[in-house]
Amino acid sequence: MTIVAVTETEYRKAPDIFEAAASGGLKCISAPPDEAELARTITATGASHAIVGIQPYVGPLYAALKRGAVLARFGVGHDSIDKAQATAAGLLVTNTPGALDDSVAELTMALILAAARHIPTVTRDTREGGWRQIVGVELRERTLAVIGCGAIGCRVARIASRGFGMRVIGVKAHDTNRERLMADFGFDSIVTDLAPAVANADFVSLHVPGTPATRHLLNAERLAMLPAGAWLINTARGSVVDEAALYDALAAGRLGGAALDVCEREPYAPADPGRDLRALPNVILTPHVGSSTRQACVRMARQALANIAAAQRQDYASMNIVNPDVLALLTNPTTPG
């Protein structure tokens, strides 16, 4: 029986799937998410592979797993994994593309609706004995700028345009497949520059990966491009937004508000104690729950386990490998490392 260490947060999201994996020869055990403790658990139990969540892993984990092991992300983003260290150690880093697209897209629309109708504010007021009927806006004919036209951004565009009658402008780094994306997902237009996309936007939704190139993509200069009254929605990665600059824009009334499911530091902690987004009434914060639906968690668990099972068979072509350079180390015994 092959032992797979699954960080406990991820294990709790799909326990039935992880327990059932034993019938296929994979014994999944719940393990601490802290890197040092996870590494010790892997060593103590002889775990051959690991499934991990969003927490950053910077050192001990890569030494604890043996060459050829799978370090599987329970999700799509893999910025929390040091691919260089993993490759040097001969570890296959995998993710679960497509498993959470619908869940994140639906949360994005939920946050847009919550902002448009002031749902957090009126809920809080009503609980406290008030009865303020704050006037919101309908989404029909409002403009949504979708920054990043990948799988999730495209789903958001389709729901917004065809479900709510919004005008959707996409921002895509490369001007390719524009006509197909417009036809398939309801984009009104797709551009390569941020400024024209957000110039008249009522809502701006971020759907780009967390990479060095996208760090603080929404900085003070670009936040100033958004119209007064616009809402910023982020269900992508916290690193994409300069939270101090966002605080300043919100506190000064230059933006309508922000709805954030992701933060630079999770659990949320302000980079500057004097700029705590939780203190602002026009901020909606959720605890990185974009992929936390029963259906998405089942899909992610199954896909992570399928990656491990494929590695056991050395069927690398069937895996979602995000550090493909490691294959040269595993398939060519003369390759250094």
Q: Give the range of the structural domain holding residue 16, as residue numbers without chain letter.
A: 2-99+293-331
Q: Catalytic positions, please?
A: 237, 266, 288
Residues 71 and 21 in one domain: yes
Residues 245 and 187 in one domain: yes
pLDDT bracket for residue 333 (50, 70, 90): low
Residues 93 and 107 in one domain: no
**In this model, does residue 100 exceed pLDDT 90?**
yes
Classify residue 336: in a domain, yes or no: no
Tens digit of pLDDT for each residue in 265-310? 999 999 899 999 999 999 999 999 999 999 999 999 999 999 999 9
Tens digit of pLDDT for each residue in 231-244? 999 999 999 999 99
Residue 334: the pLDDT is: 59
Residues 92 and 33 in one domain: yes
Residues 133 and 158 in one domain: yes
Residues 281 and 169 in one domain: yes
Instruction: Return the CATH number at 304.
Output: 3.40.50.720
Residues 312 and 281 in one domain: no
Distances in whole angstroms, Cα of residue 7 to Cα of each of 11, 37, 102: 6, 10, 24
**In this model, does residue 108 exceed pLDDT 80?**
yes
Residue 271: the pLDDT is: 87
**In this model, does residue 107 exceed pLDDT 60?**
yes
Tens digit of pLDDT for each residue in 137-163? 999 999 999 999 999 999 999 999 999
Classify residue 337: in a domain, yes or no: no
User: In the predicted model, what is the mean pLDDT of residues 79-104?
Assistant: 97
Residues 118 and 88 in one domain: no
Tens digit of pLDDT for each residue in 202-233? 999 999 999 999 999 999 999 999 999 999 99
Half-sphere exposure of 130 (CA within 13 A, CB side): 10
Tell me whether the omega of the peptide bond preceding residue 336 falls within 30 degrees of 0, making it cis.
no
